[in-house]
Structures are given as structure tokens and as C-alpha cells.
Structure 1
């Protein structure tokens, strides 16, 4: 158990701290997003674009808390939280628009399964989010 604790400490607090924490937070956000998306799309029969908005929104709410407090260790008192939240929402609206465009194209134009499309657009969103969080929101 001690070796596991040292390994985890090394991963989440070492040289790759930022990337590993962002990735772990992203995995949790993705699980939440996919679970809500699946419930909406498969169980409730809600169209995949609306399911994408709902699932993504739940992931975003979790993402703000974890990225602010843990990933980016951002407790800058000079910057009001409301301003930071506004920037975070703007980034995620951009990301959501990109994912909606891509998921629609992948499903309708390329006949790719909706869940495979969801995985692809999730990866695209992660790149956009990481870059914009790092340089604009939590800097």
C-alpha cells in the first residue's frame, strides 16, 4: 500500500502534476457526461444533440469545482470567482458548440455510431478546454 501511495503522490504532485490532475478530472467529468448522455439518449429517448447538451452540462459543473480547486490549485483572491466562472462558462460554450457540430457531422454525414462519435468529440473538447483553462481561465 505504501508503494501505491508513493506512486499516486508522484503522479498527482510530481512533474506531470497539471496534466495528470487535468486527466483525472477529465475522466470523472467524462463518466458523468457519458452517464447522463446515455440515460437521456437511450433510456429517455431524447435526441442525441439535446442529450449532448444535458450530459455536457453536468460534466461542466463538476469540472469547474475540480479544476479550480485541485487541477490548477487556483485560489487567486485578486480575481473574483464570478469573473472566473464566466470565463469557464464561455470556454465550455465554445467547446460545446464545437462538439455539437462534430457529433452531428460524424453521425449524419459519416454514419459513425453515436457513441463512437461521442468519444471522438470528447477528446476534441478536452484539448480545447485544457488549453483555454490554462491560458485564460485559471492563469
Structure 2
């Protein structure tokens, strides 16, 4: 993949992550502030809802150049679910630790943790494991 295309895919992934992340963040705040659910649980609820949007965007738009939509959706969903579970665990625990240690509002520490998890965990696993191009090539050319 050319450097220009890699940058474009990275940018699309960030738009997808931001869109799913905004939905996730709004759901977290609504659950915490209106329904009085502890923010660590609200992070999980928002994470699941945001993940549904993010998966759809990644499968049909972000990684479509990799022909991600040609792969079996069940396989991708299973892999994506593992990534989401890890992401939610990192975000919940990271937000709790930062909120406790830094004595900052959970809404601020959540954004800090989201940036770290999104770039260092989610993007890497989605690009190289969940939606990787080689899976399509292996499916089309089994040896």
C-alpha cells in the first residue's frame, strides 16, 4: 500500500472512530448523568453502541479498499467483539484510574484515555487483524 493511501485509510479510520466515539461518549454521559449509572458501566454501554456504528463504517467505508465487505461478517464480528471488549476494559479501567489519581472529572479523563486506546489499540488491531486485506486474498486464493 502506498504511503498516500495508508494516510488516507488512517484518516478514514479516525473519522469512523470519532463518529462512533462521539455516539459512545454521548451515551456514556446520558447513562451517567440522567440514569445515574456509574461511569465505568456507562462506558461499557456507550462502547457497545458506538462499536456497532464503528464496525459498520469500518466494514463498508474505511477498509473497503481492502475489500473488507467481501469477508464473512461473522468472522469479522467475532474479531471485532474481542477488540471492543479489550477497548472497553482499557477505557473503563483507564478512566477510573485517571479520575481517581488525577482527581479530574470522568468526562475529561475519558477523553484522555480514548485518545490513547483509539490510536494504540483499536486502530492497530482493526487494520491488521479484523479488516486486513490478506484475509480476502487468502479467501480468493486458497493454497
TM-score bin, normalised by smaller chain: 0.7 to 0.9
Q: CA deviation at 1:76?
A: 5.5
Q: Is residue 2:20 matched to residue 1:29?
A: yes
1: CA distance, partners of 2:54 / 2:97: 26
In structure 2, which of residues 54, 58, 73 is the aligned counterpart of residue 81 of structure 1?
73
Question: Cα offset for 1:75?
Answer: 3.6
Higher relative contact order (CA 8 A, sep 6+): 2
1:109 corresponds to: 101
**When the two structures are superposed, what TM-score results if normalisation uses the length of structure 2?**
0.81
Q: How does 1:1-139 map onto structure 2 within 5 Å?
A: 15=5, 16-73=7-64, 74-75=67-68, 77=70, 79-127=71-119, 128-139=121-132
Question: Does the Cα contact within 8 Å between 2:24 and 2:47 map onto a contact in 1?
Answer: yes
Q: Which runs of 5+ in 2 are unaligned?
A: 133-143
Per-residue deviation, residues 69-108 of structure 1 (Å, max 9, x unmatched): 100003464x421011100110111111111111110112
TM-score w.r.t. length of structure 1: 0.84
CA contact (8 A) 1:96 1:125 kept: no
Count matched residues. 125
Q: Which residue of 2 aligns with 1:10?
A: none
Instruction: Name stretches of at least 5 consecutive residues in structure 1 with no aligned partner.
Output: 1-13
RMSD: 1.4
* Runs of 4+ with deviation above 2 angstroms: 74-77
Residues 119 and 76 (structure 1), Cα distance of their counterparts in 2 relative to 1, 3 Å cut = closer
